[in-house]
Each structure stands twice: as structure tokens, then as C-alpha cells.
Copies of this chain bind each other. A is one copy, B any other.
Amino acid sequence: MKKKSYLLGEIATILGAKLTGNPERLIDGVASLDSAKEGQVSFLGGARYQLIKSSRHEKFLSTTQASAVLVSPLHAKACPVDKLIIEDPHSAYLTLAKLFEKQFKKVPGIHPTAVIGSGCEISATASIGPYCVIGENCRIGENTSINSHAVIKDNVSIGKDVLIASHVVLYHDVLIGDRVVIHAGAIIGKEGFGMVRSGTGWEKIPHLGTVILEDDVEIGCNTTIDRGALDNTLLKKGVKLDNQIQVGHGVVIGENTIIAGCTGIAGSTRIGKNCMIGGAVAINDNITICDNVIFTAMAGVSKSITQPGIYSSGTGIQPQKDWHRSIACLRKLAKKAKKMENKQYE
């Protein structure tokens, strides 16, 4: 059971920070500089990929109502309240925040309303919530939680310390590693959107592959991942997907690649490891993205990328009148180019 409050002196010791202020002060939470109240600790970051950009928050330092602030030596003098001085306030904040994070009790066992198929192997330490429906021959590992209304079809295998949140659907034969987190509403393993023309209509290609999520993968809310047609859809160790991402059939994503919300990846594309893909990116089918690529938000990726680096597309936001002019100029240039092409044949 976690403590609900700490003395400021205790916190300084836990973080290894130098305290200038009252060590007996009672601290019961954390907050940002501009919203913090008495009893709360705030922080002013300094690292590059930080949670809260310091440029935006520095102005709140002088008027903060926090009882204490985590600051770098650089900002210590400007801090008007008790201070915890440390080289990397951002990392220290993460440690501090974990002290105040809520813990949810997990009750092992199978809720009486869960419907479980024959031939399942479910660890005695796993927890299956109300109204879960689990098919035949599934395997669920130690300390894994399956929350209410999750649907798990036949022959699914789930490792240990996994969280399957409410309303998740795992289709047949999906393989889930250890410490995987799948948030509410995500749907994994539907047959892919592979169609061929058939007379006047479309016929669905059989999808014989499955979806494999390796250890430490995280999948956001309402994200969808389709199974492969021939080979498997594969998310390697440590891949992190945000909400409302669509991953097409047969896609492979390399280790520790992280993808922000609303991005779509079309079928059979391969993405390298340690990539960072911004939100609302659209990635074409059947292309290859090498390791260590960064796509900025809303990039439209139509071709393979073979060199690590940062890539972008789009026109940037403009007042509508200026934008109309920009677009008109672009079209005039294209018309001129067309005329020149035509001249070559005269």
C-alpha cells in the first residue's frame, strides 16, 4: 500500500536532490507550475524531450503556488519557494510522480459471468473480468489481467503481466508476448483489407497469417491491427502505438519504434527500429522504411526511405487568403511546365 503523503525532506532523499527549504513540509501531490497549490511539488524541466516544454512554463515560476519546485541549478535562484535542486528535474519528476500514482488492486480469478471455451490454460494468478468471452484452446499467463467485455477468440496465446483492457477484441490465433498493454477498444487480428476484382464486384483474399505482438508492446485505444494474408503482421519488442492507429495486413514494425495517434500504415510495409512517427501520418503499402527515421506529423509517405533522418510533407498552415495564392502559384508553375513539355514535341 502506497503512502498518501511525504515530508519534503523524505522526497529530497528519495530523489537525491539538494533541498533549500523546510524538510518537515507535508507533500501530498504534484502539479504544473501554474496550477499547483499548497502541499504540491512542481518542476521546471530542462531536458530535450521533456514532458512539459520549459519555454512555455518558465514564466509561471515566479508566481507559482507550489510548496516546492524541482529545479536545475540554473533556475534555482529564480525560484521563489522551497526548492529541490537537481541536474535533471524532468527525470526526478518521473520518480516523484510514481510515488503519487494510483495503484489499482487486481483480484486474481475468473469472474462468474465470464464465458470460457474448452481447452484453455489460464494461470491461477490471472484475472478475468465480468462479461469476458474467451474461445477454445487459449493460453493466458501469470498475473495477466483481462478486463470486462474483452473478447478473445480461439487459439490465442497471451504471455505474463499483460493488460488487456475493456472491450478489446483479439481474433483467433493472435500471439501476445509478456508485459504487453492493449488499451480499451483496440481490435487485433481481423483479416486484412485485401480484395481482388471478381466479375462486377470484389472478392476477399484469404488471410492465413496472424498478428504477433512481441514483449513490451503497447497498443492504444481503438487502434486496429489486421492479420497478414500470407505472412504475419509483426510488431517487434518494445513497439509503442498511440490511439486510433491502423496497421494493415502483413506490416512489420521494428523494435522500439514509437507511433503517435491517428497514423495509418498500409499493407505489407516494413518499418525499421527506433523510428519516431508523428501523429496523423499516412504510410503507403509495400514500402520499406529504414531504422532511425523520424516522420513529422501528417507526413504522407509514398515511397521507401533508405537514409535515417527527419522527413516531412505538407504546406504548413496559412491564413486562407495567402493559402489560396500559394496554391494558385503552384498550379501556374505546373501549367508552365506542361507547356514546356508540349513544346518539346512541336
Contact = CB atoms under 8 A, between A and B. Distances in A.
Interface stretch (A18-26, A72-80, A179-187): A179-187
A282 B214 CA distance: 30
Interface stretch (A9-17, A137-145, A203-211): A203-211
B230 A30 contact: yes
Contacts of A65: none
A309 interface: yes
B329 A325 contact: no
B331 A320 contact: no
Interface string A127-171: 001110100000000000001110100100000000001110101
A118 interface: no
**Main secondary structure on chain A at its contact with chain B?**
loop
Contacts of A266: 260-261, 279, 297
10 tightest A-B contacts by CB? A280-B282, A329-B333, A325-B334, A97-B206, A262-B264, A326-B334, A310-B320, A193-B242, A101-B206, A201-B238
Interface of A: 29-32, 35, 49, 51-53, 56, 90-91, 94, 97-98, 100-102, 104, 113, 115, 129-131, 133, 147-149, 151, 154, 165-167, 169, 171-173, 183-185, 187, 190, 193-197, 200-206, 208, 216, 218, 220-222, 224, 226, 229-231, 237-238, 240, 242-244, 246, 248, 255-256, 258, 260-262, 264, 266, 268, 279-280, 282, 284, 286, 295-303, 305, 307, 309-320, 322-331, 333-338
